[in-house]
Each structure stands twice: as C-alpha cells, then as structure tokens.
Amino acid sequence: MDEGLKDSILNALEMVIDPELGIDIVNLGLVYNVDVNDEGLCTVEMTLTSMGCPMGPQIVNQVKMVLAEIPEIADTEVNIVWSPPWGKDMMSRYAKIALGIG
C-alpha cells in the first residue's frame, strides 16, 4: 500500500471520535494497523479503550462510513483485537494534552 493512501486512511480515521473520551481513535492509539489489498478491501486492526466498551459497534460503523469516502477502498473490514492491550502510553502527545495527562 502506498504512503499516500495510508495517509488518506489515517486522516479519515481521525474523524472517528471515541464518544467517551472525545478524542479521535488515531490520536488515542486505538488503530494498530491498516492495509488495503488489490481488490480494494481495507482491513483495519484496532482496539477499544475497554473490553466492555458499549460504543464498540458505533465506532466500527463510523470507521466503515469514513473509509467508504475514499475512492480506492471498495469495502472495509474492522478487526477488534485485545492484544496488545491499549494503555494511556499509546496516546499521541496531542491526546495526552487534551485529556490533561502528563
């Protein structure tokens, strides 16, 4: 996958906001990997802030919605994974500042 497409995907994913924290899933460090195959299937490997996150299905739907806007992507598959477990150290500097975490 070329870097331009990867940047487009990550920029689109920055529009998906975790409703509990009010920060996008990219800056929260929830997106572990993105890939697009030759048929235009985008696979997003991501996690949630907690296993019991009630917003999981809503976040997955938003991921699919924003990526549907990218012409090179025909379909999106979202894989929720729990390893490695998410932690505050995975957040970007921006997210830490926004949430008041040193």
Domains of the chain: 3-91 (3.30.300.130)
Please state, in angstroms and rounded to a whole number, the distance separating the CA atoms of residues 32 and 67: 16
Question: Would the pTM count as exceeding 0.75?
Answer: yes
pLDDT in tens, the chain (102 residues): 789 999 999 999 999 999 989 999 999 999 999 999 999 999 999 999 888 878 899 999 999 999 999 999 999 999 999 999 999 999 999 999 999 986
Structure confidence at residue 1 (pLDDT): 78
Structural element, H or E, at residue 17: strand 17-18
CB 44 within 8 Å of CB 76: yes
